[in-house]
Amino acid sequence: MNEKKKGTIGILTGGGDVPGLNPAIRAVTIRALREGYKVIGIRRGWAGLVDLVREKDADNSNNYQTLTEEVVNKAGRTGGTFLHTSRTNPARARFDRIPEHLRDKYNNEVNDVTEEVLKNLDFLGIDYLIPIGGDDTLSYAVRMYQEGVKVVAIPKTMDNDVPGTDYCIGFSTCVTRTIELSNSLRTVAGSHERLMVLEVFGRYAGFTAMLPTMAGAAHRCVIPEYKFNIERLAELLMLDRKFNPSHYSVVLVSEGAMFEGGEMVFKDKTTDAFGHAKLGGIGDLVSERLKELTARHNNGRSVDTVTQKLGYLVRCGDPDAIDSIVPMAYGNLALDLILKNVHGRLVVLKNGRYDNIPVDIVTSTKKFVNVERFYNTDRLRPKFESFEMTPLFIMTSDSH
C-alpha cells in the first residue's frame, strides 16, 4: 500500500452533501497529480477510515479509491460528492456502527476507534489528509492533527457557520436556490392571498435565512440567534400583506429558530454521531400560530398560510458560479500548503482574500449572526445599512 511518488494525499467529505464538493476534490486531485503525488479518495467520510480492513487481499473498494484526472473531471461539474459522505464520528462510534472485524475489541455502547483510524491511514500510506466538511467533520480533523496526522482542512457547509472563514462551500448555491424557490412559490401565495412560511436549514446560525431575505426573497425572517415573538411576526406579515398589491407576504424560518420563551423543535429524540437531534417542524408550528393570530389584523377573519420546507432542494443539483470557483481556489490553497510541508491549517476566505488559519479554531469558537449589527429585532428582518467595506456576503467570521 505504500507505493507512491512524492507522497500520498487522502481526501474525504463528511456531513451533509452540498454543491461544490466535487469541484474541490477535482482541484485537489489535478494539482496534486501534476505535482507528483498519489491521491486516494476516502469513501463515506470518516466511515471509510473506520471500516477499512487492513489485509492485503481484502476488498476495500467501498472504503477508498485511487483518484485520477479522468475520475475527477467527470464528477467535477456536478453537485453532491462522488466519494459519498456520512456523519460518522470515530471518537464516539456506536456499537451498531462498528464493523464486524472490530467488534471483539470495541464492544461498548459508544467507542473511540481513533487508534484504528490512525492505523488505517498508515496502512494506506497517507502522508497528508484533506478533510472537507463542516464543524462536526472538522472537529475530528482537529483530533487527527493532535494525534500527529498532517491535516489541511477545507470548510464546507451551506449554513456557512464554520468559524474563522467568511465562506463555506455550498452556501452560495443554498442562497441561490432559496431565492429561486421563494420566487417560484410566490405565485401560489399571491393567487390565494396567503402568508407563506418557508422553513430553511440553519441549526444554530441564521445566515441561510438572512441572506435570501436581504436579497428580497422574503419580507421577514426568524433566526436561531434571536427568540421571536409570534404575535409581532403575525402583525408584521399582515402589514406586509396589506401593502403588497398581490396581498401576500413571505417569512423565512430557520430550522433552529425558537419562539419567545420556547426551545428548538425536534423531529424525534434520536441523535447523530455528534450528538445532534434532528430538527424539523418549526415551520409548521409558525404557520399554525400565524393562522390563529391573523384574524386580529383582518377584521376577525383568519388568513390561510402556505407552508413549505425547502430542505434538500437547496442543497441538490449543480453548484452555482461561486461554488465552482471557491472550491477550486480552496483545493489549490490546500496543495500550496502541502508543497510547503505546512499542516494543521484551515483554508479560508477572510474579507474577500484567500488565506489559511490554525485548524483548531473549529473547536475553539462558534460562528453566529451578529444580531446587534445585522438583525432588526423589532422588524424581524436584516438591517439594510452600513454595508461599506463588508465582504461579498456581508456577515463575516469576525462579526460575532
Catalytically annotated residues:
159
Cell numbers for 46: 470518516
Find the Cα–Cα–Cα–Cα dihedral 169, 119, 272, 200, rounded to 10°. Answer: 0
Sheet strands (E) in the chain: 8-13, 38-42, 64-66, 93-94, 110-111, 128-133, 152-155, 195-200, 220-222, 249-254, 266-271, 277-279, 305-309, 345-350, 353-358, 375-376, 381-382
Specify whether the CB–CB gap between 9 and 130 falls below 8 A: yes
* Cell 407552508, residue located: 307
Strand partners, 182: none
DSSP state of 397: T
Residue 235 burial by CB count (10 A; 0-12/13-18/19+): exposed, middle or buried?
middle
**Could you give the CA distance from residue 220 to residue 197 in angstroms, rounded to a whole number?**
10
Task: Kindly report the backbone phi and psi dihedral angles of residue 270, in degrees, each rounded to the nearest multiple of 5, phi listed first.
Answer: -75, 155
β 249-254/195-200 pair status: parallel
Specify whether the CB–CB gap between 10 and 153 falls below 8 A: no
- Cα–Cα distance list, 298 to 189, 231, 242, 247, 294 (Å): 17, 14, 9, 12, 6
* Cell 418549526, residue located: 282
**Could you give the CA distance from residue 286 to residue 251 in angstroms, rounded to a whole number?**
10
**Could you give the CA distance from residue 142 to residue 140 in angstroms, rounded to a whole number?**
5
- 1 CB neighbour count, 10 Å cutoff: 13
